[in-house]
Structure 1
Amino acid sequence: MHDLTGFQRDLLHIVHGLSEPHGLAIKEEIDEYYQQDIHHGRLYPNLDTLVEKGLVEKREKDGRTNIYETTHRGERELTARSEWESQHVTNQLS
């Protein structure tokens, strides 16, 4: 997870938080978070990177729609990142 961009980490969190998210649902969530329209040319290559890294699985729902799901590795990476962040936030607040 250390080699992901912040945008890719945000996408991973979104994919993990939605039930069988498709590209448009992911786009709507990331648009809302960033408060701007994220173009398909930015969204899909970054989702493909997550797939290539084994953090997300992409499967076809129908002829036009792909579903994205977090893999077990992706879940482990999210948990490890969350624990790391909690450790550092706790240290700063003490």
Structure 2
Amino acid sequence: MHTPEAQVFGTMLVAYGYIYPLQNHRKLVMCNDSSLYRFQTPYFWPTQQWVPEDSDYAIYLAKRNIRKKGMLEPYEQAHYNHLHEWLNHKWDFIVMQATEQYK
């Protein structure tokens, strides 16, 4: 059994991006069941306070595009298309990076 404080603390870790659920990515609360969670890479922790570059976001979207087999959310698809036009000169590199990171 989890105490209420542990439940709230776990939910805060999920909500602030330090850990993320492996099964249900849309549910940003800590579940009191057998759900699995993984720590986010420290590079992406909110306390790092880095502003993502366009190429970093493009790689992230390309990985999601690979994982979801082209079924991005509409807003993600719009950003993906915009970044593809904007970063066309290095798009092959972005897709290569996303493919390698996805593996």
Please confirm whether the aligned pair reaches a TM-score higher than 0.5, indicating the same fold.
no
Q: Give the number of the structure whose residues are more often strand, by fraction.
A: 1
Bigger Rg, structure 1 or 2: 2
Kindly indicate whether structure 1 or structure 2 has the higher relative contact order, using CA contacts under 8 Å at least 6 residues apart: 1
